[in-house]
Amino acid sequence: MAIVRFHGGCHQIGMSCIEIDTKKSRILLDCGMDPTNNAIPKVDENVDAVIVSHAHLDHCGAIPFYKFKKIYCTTPTADLMYITWKDTLNLSKSYKEEDIQRSLNNTETLNYKEEKQITEDITLKFYNAGHILGSASIYLDIDGKKILYTGDINETPTRTLLPADTDVDEIDVLIIESTYGSPLDIKPSRKALEKQLIDEIAETIENGGKVIIPVFAIGRAQEILLIINNYIRSGKLKDVPVYVDGSLIHATGIYMSYLDWLNPKLKNMVENRVNPFGELKKADNSVFNKEPCIIISTSGMVQGGPVLQYLSLLKSPKNKLILTGYQAEGTLGRELEEGAEEITPFKNKIPVRGKVVKIEFSAHGDYNSLVRYIKKIPTPKKAFVVHGERYQTLSFAMTIWKSLKIPTFAPVNGSILPL
């Protein structure tokens, strides 16, 4: 009988890693890092393969620490993982360039819905997860037993991506994320969020100020660029320079090279000679002159990355900082979110006189979206809930069991259970 070992990502967001042991093989689903403390799961590097759902740090960040012989992911994920690993190398020096190269050399890529027998008794297939470019839900056929590991999912369409596939084959065991798993986690619509973002930007630009938008390089950056450029093109937002900085430039290049994997509307735009992401002007000293502008830069939690260089602009009450995602405890982003009057990104203190606002553009489905997702896919016989804070994980396990009548478990890190 196959068993499942939960190495990480239980009752937490970070360090996702699940091992499946069968009679004839051993594989890992994701091998991520905890972004808050750089912790990695303890695993045996002699497993037959690691299957990666997508290129975010909490799903692939720990791979270069190990000498895995085989890594499977989608084609865009392989390109994006390189950016994630390089960013990690630059920030923490925790592994070497040669570790990244070895990991890439051992990576084999698949398209969505392409089947591949990866060990004697396991066949693999990826479905679109709707979360970031190349993101996948992992479908396994283990000697006739069917497993779906959702990875991070979004069941609603965004400007960049089509919604997660729900036309999945039959499922015996579902392993599902629960980032917004509590019934209280109801998020505003995309449209409402966009309007809020544009109103905040317009207010500052009208007053002759500058807007700084810290973003995550993969996913968030591209969506923000799409929204801003769209409003500028349609004349609803004043045409001011939009500057970019950090690894989001490279990541956006990868988005542009995989148009077939994105929302088809983007491909149409390119065919009509519109660059959906705008011209990607690299930020330079001109961001400090008098003219109003928008600066989009990594890192998303204001924890290092080139965005730190622009924080001195917050000395002026005319300028504004817009946070676009979750800010973990202990990050400069969280300090700003909580109203810090003074920050120290480098040696000198900077008084914060500019306004700081947060508009959360999540790449995860909210509670209603998660429930809709489960109702749309074939009903599983059993479910495991992972990838959520404790309260979210437990609430969502309760939701699945009570209202959908599916036996559901919320394992902790270290749990070993029959599949």
- Closest CB to Zn ion among residues 216, 243: 216
- Closest CB to Zn ion among residues 178, 319: 178
Residues numbered 57-116 forming contacts with Zn ion, rule: CB under 5 A: 58
User: What length does the chain have?
Assistant: 419
Q: Nearest approach, Cβ of 128 to Zn ion (angstroms)?
A: 14
- Closest CB to Zn ion among residues 58, 245: 58
Q: Nearest approach, Cβ of 386 to Zn ion (angstroms)?
A: 10
Q: Nearest approach, Cβ of 226 to Zn ion (angstroms)?
A: 18
Size of the site for Zn ion (CB under 5 A): 3
- Closest CB to Zn ion among residues 100, 133: 133
Residues numbered 316-375 forming contacts with Zn ion, rule: CB under 5 A: none
Region of 147-155, 249-257, 272-280, 372-380 interacting with Zn ion (CB under 5 A): 147-155
Residue least distant from Zn ion (Cβ) = 56
220 is a site residue for Zn ion (CB under 5 A): no
Q: How far is CA 206 from CA 85, 139, 171, 199, 354, in A?
A: 39, 50, 54, 10, 15
Region of 142-150, 152-160, 200-208, 391-399 interacting with Zn ion (CB under 5 A): 152-160
Among 5, 7, 11, 56, binds Zn ion (CB under 5 A): 56
Among 19, 34, 152, 245, binds Zn ion (CB under 5 A): 152
Region of 48-56, 157-165, 222-230, 312-320 interacting with Zn ion (CB under 5 A): 48-56
Region of 52-60, 63-71, 82-90, 408-416 interacting with Zn ion (CB under 5 A): 52-60
Binding track, positions 234-273, relative to Zn ion; x by CB under 5 A: ----------------------------------------
- Closest CB to Zn ion among residues 146, 387: 387
Give the interface with Zn ion as residue ranges (CB under 5 A): 56, 58, 152
